[in-house]
Amino acid sequence: MDKEIYLDNSATTRVFPEVAELMSRIMLTDYGNPSSLHQKGMDAEKYLRTAREQIASILKCKEKEILFTSCGTESDNLAIIGTALRHRKTGNHLITTKIEHPAVLEPMAYLEKQGFEVTYLSVDQNGQIDLSELEASIRPDTLLVSIMHTNNEIGTLMPIEEAGRIIKAKNPGTYFHVDAVQGFGKAEIRPKKANIDLMSVSGHKIHGPKGIGFLYMSENVKLQPLMLGGGQQGGLRSGTESVPLIAAIGLASEMCYTDLSGKRSRMYDLRAGFIEGLKAVPGVSVRNEDKEKNAPHIVSASFEDVRAEVLLHALEEHGIYVSSGSACASNHPSPSKTLIAIGTDKRFLDSTIRFSFSDFTTKEELDTTLAVLNDLLPKLRRFTRR
């Protein structure tokens, strides 16, 4: 097999070696419990403080506004269910979009069963919400609006700052939650500037380990905790803090934001070149080309007369790793809700591949991928059409 070409960075990323080394040191040497009163506890506590400082300096927020969780999913659940249950007396209405990740859509469905009303905003063919529909949907009893920063399947960048302004102008009491799992580490995000009250992030999408995430929580937000116990993290998320994982997400965040603009322009260049190459392959259509409205690291393309799963495994034989739809939904046979919501032609629902880059992705790898696709597709189509 050729050298490995990993183009599935929206599913998960390789951990930075510096991050793995830091975790190893903490697990083997500085393994204290941050709640312990002795020196080993204080050493552990210092790692938590450092991680908070690293993240707060990126988001330009206060250190106490960072709450560590076990993953992006937990951060989304806590933001949405925690806000809804805490403020139930003030309102009963929630707003989100039709193309959110299941980590948002499932808590919304759960709250509907608890008697909340949820409005699902539609999106256009590029996955963009209509800001006038958002404005018209906000009511005096709207408790929370949840809109993703970057779509995980097609890379759409949502108009977060405009949405924040609209929400606060129409109802200053409505909380604004942003699922930034795919956006953090790839874009500058200033929650205060964008009127964001709550924002979810995951460690394993930014070259940190799996099993760690955080929730940015503006200091004026009050939540009902979902985890009860020893009262760690101000009682909002009980459970002994995972010091190695928290230190890891702090360092991984800092490393992603070092020379972010250089990394972004490099990734956008790679993306543009790859899209041009894909468009030259017969029977391939690429969505969301526009650089201004899409993330630098995601390319979604449909392949006429080829099933995505077949293509995925054929690429795998050449050491190329990609995804059909989003990884978390890939083991479900049902078609992607995002692709349906953007009005994808039926024949492409089952033939869409997501290529997702990281800062480690090279032009050479993408050129190899294009060459392999050019070679594979006619063969696979001959097989399909038989």
Active site residues: 328
82 contacts ligand PLP (rule: CB under 6 A): no
Give the residue with the Cβ less far from ligand PLP, 76 or 254: 76
CB of 76 to ligand PLP, least distance (A): 6
287 contacts ligand PLP (rule: CB under 6 A): no
- Strand ranges of the sheet holding 213-217, from the earlier edge strand across to the other edge: 66-69, 213-217, 198-202, 175-179, 142-148, 93-97, 117-121
Q: Binding-site residue total for ligand PLP (CB under 6 A)?
A: 16
State which H helix or E strand residue 95 sits in. Answer: strand 93-97
Give the residue with the Cβ less far from ligand PLP, 201 or 372: 201
At 147, which amino acid appears? Answer: I
226 contacts ligand PLP (rule: CB under 6 A): no
Residues 180-219 that bind ligand PLP (CB under 6 A): 181-182, 202, 204, 213
Residues 321-380 that bind ligand PLP (CB under 6 A): 326, 328
> Which residues sit opposite 97 in a β-bridge?
121
CA dihedral 59, 63, 68, 71 (to 10 degrees): 0
Give the residue with the Cβ less far from ligand PLP, 152 or 233: 152
Give the residue with the Cβ less far from ligand PLP, 82 or 213: 213
CB of 96 to ligand PLP, least distance (A): 12
103 contacts ligand PLP (rule: CB under 6 A): yes
Instruction: Determine the 3-state secondary structure of 86 from DSSP.
Output: helix
Tell me the CA distances in angstroms from 126 to 243, 320, 343, one per residue in order: 40, 26, 9
- Rounded Cα distance between 4 and 364, Å, is 12
Q: What is the distance of C-alpha 323 from the center of its chain?
A: 15
**Is the Cβ–Cβ distance between 194 and 164 less than 8 Å?**
yes
CB of 72 to ligand PLP, least distance (A): 3
Give the residue with the Cβ less far from ligand PLP, 108 or 376: 108
> Which residues sit opposite 214 in a β-bridge?
68, 201
CB of 177 to ligand PLP, least distance (A): 12
- Rounded Cα distance between 143 and 128, Å, is 22
CB of 151 to ligand PLP, least distance (A): 7
Binding segment toward ligand PLP, per CB under 6 A, in 68-76, 121-129, 222-230, 263-271: 68-76
152 contacts ligand PLP (rule: CB under 6 A): yes
Number of H helices, E strands in the chain: 11, 12
Q: Which residue is nearest to ligand PLP (CB)?
A: 72
Q: Which residues would be at the binding site for ligand PLP (CB under 6 A)? A: 71-73, 76, 101, 103, 148, 152, 179, 181-182, 202, 204, 213, 326, 328
